[in-house]
Amino acid sequence: MTTTEVAPLPLGTGVDEAALTVRGLGKSYDGRAVLDGLDLDVRRGECFALLGPNGAGKTTTIEILEGVRRRDAGEVRVLGEDPARGRREWRARMGVVSQGEPAGQALSVREALDHFARYHALPRPTDELLAATGLEAKAGTRVSALSGGQRRRLAVALGVQGRPELVFLDEPTTGMDPVARRQFWELVRGLRADGTTVLLTTHYLDEAAELADRVGVIAEGRLVDVAPPAELGADLRRRATVSWLEGGARRQVVTERPADVLRDLLATTTRGELPGLTVTRPGLEDVYLQLVGAVPATAGGDPA
């Protein structure tokens, strides 16, 4: 299993490439450690997805990076600054889509967007935001009367309204229908094309695979692996499961050399046939489940 390298605090170096750098991040609630030596690097212009089970500490990490939650230990730089001392001008360079309710409940969607546009130097036009988030038909509806998925869309619109350099998206598509989710993916691709750095958390592995240049998996308070989605858990992916039927019972072998296993098996059969033969390798979900310790490391996966 690949583990994130623990470098000796190269903070302040390579600032041009790093949107954010985290070393040894620690956070406890009521004496219970949630983050315990987390290291993370996100490059400028990349889309990074933070994965992990419920309660793993994803929101805690993001809130520390946003400067709205205090850390107990570690070094953090976001857009060159320590979030614990982030100034207003620094905050203005970031967009935040948190898990909470969007502001402006008593306003219509259009009024809310127009209202918050005043806080940004160069806001995206309201009509552009309504179109990008599929909220045109709801422009006149009160925010408090929106459905859960529509509220998430508005939260996303507000989060990117100020053309942020770096946008934090905490479970942005939870509650969105499949059409809205795809619309959101387009929006994120557009942000990336403009050079915006995106850090998102999600429980949807297809979303991470679709959007992220790299994914990081949090478990036990640390990042246990960081890689492009197709390469996550490289060691685990090397193992294939060869399975076949023998005397009515299913047999299986987990191996890094499936071709060798197949050759040996075929050599022992009389008619050169192996009933029910499958060769499978772990897919992203299998690898993820193994990384977070939800299933043993030998579990099978998608057909190879």
Ligand X SMILES: Nc1ncnc2c1ncn2[C@@H]1O[C@H](COP(=O)(O)OP(=O)(O)OP(=O)(O)O)[C@@H](O)[C@H]1O
Q: Contact residues for ligand X (CB under 6 A)?
A: 29, 34, 52, 54-60
Q: Minimum Å distance from CB 4 to ligand X?
A: 17
User: 31 or 272: whose CB is closer to ligand X?
Assistant: 31
β-strand partners of 26: 36, 73
125 versus 293: smaller Cβ distance to ligand X: 293
Nearer CB in complex with ligand X: 57/229: 57
Distance from C-alpha of 169 to C-alpha of 175, rounded to nearest angstrom? 14
- Decide whether 200 or 262 has the Cβ nearer to ligand X: 200
Least Å from the CB of residue 60 to ligand X: 3
Cα–Cα distance between 282 and 238 in angstroms, integer? 8
Distances (CA, A) of 180 to 30, 113, 132, 149: 38, 19, 10, 8
**Nearest distance from residue 62's CB to ligand X, in Å?**
8
Instruction: Identify which of residues 49 and 109 has a Cβ nearer to ligand X in the complex.
Output: 49
Write down the least CB distance from residue 249 to ligand X, Å: 40
| 222-227 vs 214-219, strand pairing mode | antiparallel
d(CA 9, CA 18): 13
- 63: Cβ contacts below 8 Å, ≥ 6 apart: 69, 98
Whose Cβ is closer to ligand X: residue 71's or residue 239's?
71
Parallel, antiparallel, or unpaired: how do β-strands 240-246 and 278-281 relate?
A: antiparallel
CA atoms of 298 and 304, how far apart (whole Å): 15
CB 218 → ligand X: shortest distance, Å? 7
Q: Tell me the closest approach of the beta carbon of residue 50 to ligand X, in angstroms.
A: 8
- Name the β-bridge partners of 20: 42, 78
